[in-house]
Amino acid sequence: MLTLTCPYCGIAAEETELQPGGEAHLKRFGPGSSDAEFEAYLFARRNPKGVHFERWRHAYGCGKWFMAARDTATLQVYGTYKAQTPFPTPEIVAAIQHRHPQWRPDFDATSPTPTSAPEGLTQ
- 16 interface partner picked from another protein, Zn ion, none, CB below 5 to 8 A per type: another protein
71: amino acid identity, one letter: D
Per CB under 8 A, the segment of 52-60, 102-110, 113-121 that binds another protein is: 52-60
Query: What is the number of H-type helices and E-type strands within the chain?
Result: 2, 6
- Total residues contacting another protein by CB under 8 A comes to 40
Q: Is 77 or 117 the residue whose CB approaches another protein more closely?
A: 77
Neighbouring residues of 38: CB distance < 8 A, sequence distance ≥ 6: 29
| Residue 103 interacting with another protein (CB under 8 A) | no
CB of 104 to another protein, least distance (A): 19
Could you tell me if 80 and 92 are in contact, meaning their C-beta atoms sit under 8 angstroms apart? no
| Residue 9 interacting with another protein (CB under 8 A) | yes
| Residue 76 interacting with another protein (CB under 8 A) | yes
Distance (Å, whole) CA 48 – CA 85 = 21
| Residue 22 interacting with another protein (CB under 8 A) | no
For Cα atoms 60, 78, 106, give the angle at the middle one, nearest 5 degrees: 115
CB of 57 to Zn ion, least distance (A): 9
CB of 25 to another protein, least distance (A): 10
Distance (Å, whole) CA 99 – CA 105 = 14
CB of 13 to Zn ion, least distance (A): 7
